[in-house]
């Protein structure tokens, strides 16, 4: 990213939001296989019920992967130095997750240009699923 | 169930190596709906300066799942999986890993704390990822929360 492009990014800038399709059981099954995360709480309703839930819940890491897509849709992945989130609420079948980002800080350190982006993902009911931040840097 | 204290800090999980397979990266991209050329077309990735398909930001977590039993430490510590939730996740990146790389993982518990009079216990497990020759790729921390009085007890 050149000087001019960096200058154009203002604190407060909203990244293009990323809206994922409503989560199906099939999507969780595919993610289960593709991610190697076979925790039964995400695919086995009997197990989920025995753990006191009404149904299976989505992998938090799938929701984080969607937030990652918002970042890499905006900037090349090689710019991401840190990506740090907390999971706030469980994500259920049928929920459509929207990931949002806002530039919160800009600074230059050791000739590297940095951006700190606040990251927030919500379900369609407005409940927060995860929040955190990403640090991006550019030579 | 047990109440854990700071003595758990330093608990090591087994080291292992894993090759980043192109097919697995493509399957992961499919699972998260990623269709950008850089993640599914090796030539496109190379034209952008990557050695091959890049490992997407959260996929290092999935690579750790390839070791013999990624939940081994929870079993050994007798933590019922049904009472465990993923509370937080962070990644710090040094280099972008790509398909064809062989990565070495080593893990340890770096923090333990509790809230609400031990009703919620938090354990932070860190993985250190490096290339075979030793250069650092990333560290990533998984924070799990255990509901001490969950139904799985």
Q: What pLDDT score does A37 carry? A: 87
Separation CA B102–CA A66 (nearest Å): 26
Residue A115 lies in a domain: yes
Instruction: Answer yes or no: is B99 within a domain.
Output: yes
**Mutate which of B59, B64, B88 to test chain A, going by most A C-beta atoms within 10 A?**
B88
Please give the average per-residue pLDDT across B89-105, as a whole number: 98
**How does pLDDT run across A9-56, given as a tens digit for each residue?**
999 999 999 999 999 999 999 999 999 988 888 999 999 999 889 999
pLDDT score, position B139 = 98
B1 assigned to some structural domain: no
Selected residue with higher pLDDT from A37 and B87? B87
Lowest average pLDDT, out of A35-44, A88-97, A100-109, goes to A35-44
Number of domains in chain A: 1
Residues 74-133 of B with CB under 8 A from A: 81-83, 85-93, 96
pLDDT of residue B151: 54
Instruction: Tell me whether residues A52 and B48 touch, CB distance under 8 A.
Output: no
B16 touches chain A (CB under 8 A): no
**What is the mean pLDDT of the segment spanning A82-105?**
97
For residue B150, pLDDT over 80 is answered with: no
- CATH number of the domain where residue A105 is located: 3.10.129.10
Token couple for B54: 């890049």
Per DSSP bridges, beta strands A128-138 and A80-87 are antiparallel
Residue A92 scores a pLDDT above 60: yes
What are the CA-CA distances from residue A58 to residues A20, A38, A87, A101, B51 (Å)? 13, 12, 12, 21, 32
Mean pLDDT value across chain B: 93
Confidence of residue A4 (pLDDT cuts 50, 70, 90): confident
Please report whether residue B110 resides in a domain.
yes
Q: How many domains does chain B have?
A: 1
Residue B153 has a pLDDT of 44
SS3 B130: strand
CB-nearest to A81 from B31, B61, B93 is B93
Question: What is the C-alpha to C-alpha distance for residues A64 and A60, in angstroms, rounded to an integer?
Answer: 6
Whether B90 and A83 lie within 8 Å, measured CB to CB = yes
pLDDT(B48) > 90: yes
- Residues of chain A with C-beta less than 8 angstroms from the C-beta of B152: 50-52
Tell me, yes or no, whether A133 lies in a domain: yes
Residue B150's DSSP bridge partners are none
Question: Does the beta carbon of A64 lie under 8 angstroms from any beta carbon of chain B?
Answer: yes
* Residue B47: both structure tokens together: 């034209």
Q: What is the DSSP letter of B64?
A: H
Task: Kindly report the backbone phi and psi dihedral angles of residue A66, in degrees, each rounded to the nearest multiple of 5, phi listed first.
Answer: -65, -45
The CATH number assigned to the domain holding B78 equals 3.10.129.10
Higher pLDDT, B93 or B79: B93
Place of tokens 């050791």: A110
Tell me the sheet residues that pair with B141: B90, B126
Least confident of A26-35, A78-87, B74-83, B142-151: B142-151
Q: Is residue B76 part of a domain?
A: yes
Would residue A51 count as lying in a domain? no
pLDDT digits (tens, 9 = 90+) for B3-31: 888 999 999 999 999 999 999 999 999 99
Query: Domain for residue B139, yes or no?
Result: yes
Query: Are the C-beta atoms of residues A52 and B151 closer than 8 Å to each other?
Result: yes
Query: DSSP letter string over chain A?
Result: --HHHHHHPPTTPBPPPEEPPPPPHHHHHHHHHHH----GGGT-HHHHHHTT-SS-B--HHHHHHHHHHHHHHHS-GGGEEEEEEEE-S--BTT---EEEEEEEEEEEETTEEEEEEEEEEE-TTS-EEEEEEEEEEE-
In the predicted structure, residue B121 carries a pLDDT above the cut 50:
yes
Q: How far apart are the first and last CA of chain A?
A: 7
A52 lies in some domain: no
Q: What is the mean pLDDT of residues A115-132?
A: 97
pLDDT at residue A73, as a whole number: 97
* Residues in chain A within 8 Å Cβ distance of B28: 34-35
**pLDDT band, very low/low/confident/very high, at A125 (cuts 50, 70, 90):** very high
Domain that holds residue A117: 3-23+60-138
In B21-147, alpha helices (H): 22-31, 37-40, 42-47, 59-64, 72-76
Is residue B51's pLDDT more than 50?
Answer: yes
Here the ipTM equals 0.94
DSSP of B99-112: TT-EEEEEEEEEEE
The shortest CB-CB distance from A65 to any of B58, B87, B150 is to: B58
Is the minimum CB–CB distance between A24 and chain B shorter than 8 Å?
A: no
Cα gap B136→A27, rounded to integer Å: 33
**pLDDT at residue A1, as a whole number:** 78
Burial grade of B120 (CB within 10 A; 0-12, 13-18, 19 or more): middle
Residue range of the domain that includes B80: 6-20+60-147
Residue B54 included in any domain: no
Q: Residue B85 in 3-state DSSP?
A: strand
């Amino acid at each position: 990213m050149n000087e001019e492009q960096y200058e154009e990014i203002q604190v407060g800038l909203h990244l293009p939001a990323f809206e994922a399709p409503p989560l199906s059981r099939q999507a969780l099954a595919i993610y289960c296989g593709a991610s190697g995360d076979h925790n039964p709480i995400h695919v086995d309703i009997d197990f989920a019920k025995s753990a006191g839930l009404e149904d299976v819940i989505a992998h938090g890491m799938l929701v984080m992967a969607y937030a990652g897509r918002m970042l890499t849709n905006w900037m090349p992945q090689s710019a991401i130095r840190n990506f740090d989130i907390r999971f706030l609420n469980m994500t259920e079948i049928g929920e459509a997750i929207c990931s949002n980002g806002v530039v919160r800080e800009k600074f230059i350190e050791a000739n590297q240009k940095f951006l700190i982006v606040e990251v927030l993902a919500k379900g369609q009911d407005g409940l927060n699923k995860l929040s955190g931040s990403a640090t991006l840097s550019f030579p | 169930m047990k109440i854990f204290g700071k003595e758990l800090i330093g608990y090591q999980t087994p080291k292992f190596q894993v090759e980043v397979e192109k097919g697995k990266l493509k399957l992961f991209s499919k699972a998260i709906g990623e269709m950008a050329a850089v993640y599914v077309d090796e030539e496109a990735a190379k034209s952008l300066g990557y050695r091959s398909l890049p490992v997407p930001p959260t996929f290092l977590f999935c690579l750790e799942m390839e070791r013999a039993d990624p939940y081994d430490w929870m079993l050994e510590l007798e933590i019922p999986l049904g009472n465990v939730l993923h509370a937080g996740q962070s990644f710090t990146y040094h280099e972008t890993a790509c398909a064809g790389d062989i990565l070495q993982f080593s893990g340890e518990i770096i923090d333990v704390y509790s809230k609400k009079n031990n009703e919620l216990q938090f354990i932070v497990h860190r993985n250190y990822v490096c290339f075979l020759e030793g250069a650092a790729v990333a560290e990533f921390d998984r924070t799990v929360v255990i509901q001490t009085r969950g139904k799985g007890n």
